[in-house]
Structure 1
Amino acid sequence: MNEHTTHRQVALITGANKGIGRATAERLAELGMTVLIGARDPRRGEEAAAAARAAGGDAHAVTLDVTDQAGVREAARWIEERFGHLDVLVNNAGISGSGQVSPQDARDQVPSSVDLDMVRAVFETNVFGVITVTNAMLPLLRRSPAPRVVNLSSAAGSLTVNSIPDGPLSGLPESAAYSPSKTALNALTVQYANELRKDGILVNAADPGFVDTDINDHTGYLTTAQGAAAVVRLATLGADGPTGGFFGTDGPVPW
């Protein structure tokens, strides 16, 4: 069968040169998808793509900074010219705003003393960047027979979990940047799901859990592969799968 009689699934993962994004890309490549490694640094993106190819997958690097609207549009044009469509979009790129620190040390995000410029920077990547990339890729996703969008969220964005006085996150410093950005991302996920439901585009938020990555200075107890599991499941949902939900490895996460 030639390329005109088969549909090769194509997945774009932003921030995929390391961490959960890279693990997600590697797993989707193992499942037979062509994976596009979105990365701000072209060299790091190509290194990750080369590693995926060496493992037997089909991978390509795409220079992509989610805060650069012109660059995102250019990436969408490249994907259209090269592949003609997109089946999976994983909005993985995100920043903590506090650099590579453990959550216990992220006290510069306490609401009463937070730097507003830092809050703006976090939202620029974690929320506005998702809108920028999703909207640029929607025309390509609409050409897929089973388009899926997965937004990388966190339990830190759960209003339910955060509002429990002695809950699982009660020992962490209060956050006016990272946690609210993930709460906003969850709300955005629901709005996209509501708009795109009629088009068969499933949009969900994933909570990977406390994963060993740069963002928490490698204090997490889950591997990146374990963290990617929830993401991959949502990226490969069947037609009867959910949309507008928030899911971790063990099932739904409370809003």
Structure 2
Amino acid sequence: MNYTNETLRDLYLKDLNMPDTYHGRTTPKVRNIREWKDIKMFLPEGATVPRPLDPFGATKIYVWSDLHFGHENIIKYCNRPFPNKELMTQCLIGNYQKVVNHDDIVIFGGDVGFMKEHALNDILNQLPGYKILIYGNHDMHRGQLLNLAFNERHLCLVINVEDVDMDYQLLFTHYPMDQLNIPQGCYNVHGHIHDKLVPGNKHINLCVEHTGYKPVLLKDYVIARTHRAEAARLGLAYVG
């Protein structure tokens, strides 16, 4: 059974209004849930629908999350292997440019950076490809969404995966949906919690601490895991 985008979006918003256990808080994950409810999808000029995303198509789709460009303290908080924020930013840019080409698609799972909007856009304009942002808590300033140089910007994003004997959904969010039961046949692809992991096989963490500080192919990093989990759920043999 495939769920509508609206159903999964509403479920994510409900989860955002629940405690942020990974930071040891009893208060909701987001301070003002209305700000998140009001996030509208942004599309490039002239576009009326998002670009189709086929995990098995000819166009490569890459994923990563929580780059934190310009954030010195994240190096200490998450034990990142960089001496300072400048070299971290250079490394992330370089790693991206080594693998992503102009015709590729890249999904960013949020929390792009701790810099002024224009400085972040200067970096983003160095990164080729069709770029999609899933808004994170640090992609807004004083309740206002940053106008970042992405081709699409979403609160959350759903990709339908259709393969032989399998039909399931990937729900891309910034915060992990860890407070509510994720619907059967749906997997949560998220960021936010950096080097931590949500127990079980229903969540895939895209934070750069897990991807080697580079974008990774959706098919290799995510689909391989969800196929294995879905095969186990359906009682199917899986070779991959």
Shorter-chain TM-score tier = 0.3 to 0.5
Choose between structure 1 and 2 for higher RCO, CA contacts under 8 A separated by at least 6 residues: 2
Instruction: Give the TM-score taking structure 2 as reference length.
Output: 0.32
- Greater share of residues in strand: 2
Instruction: Give the TM-score taking structure 1 as reference length.
Output: 0.31
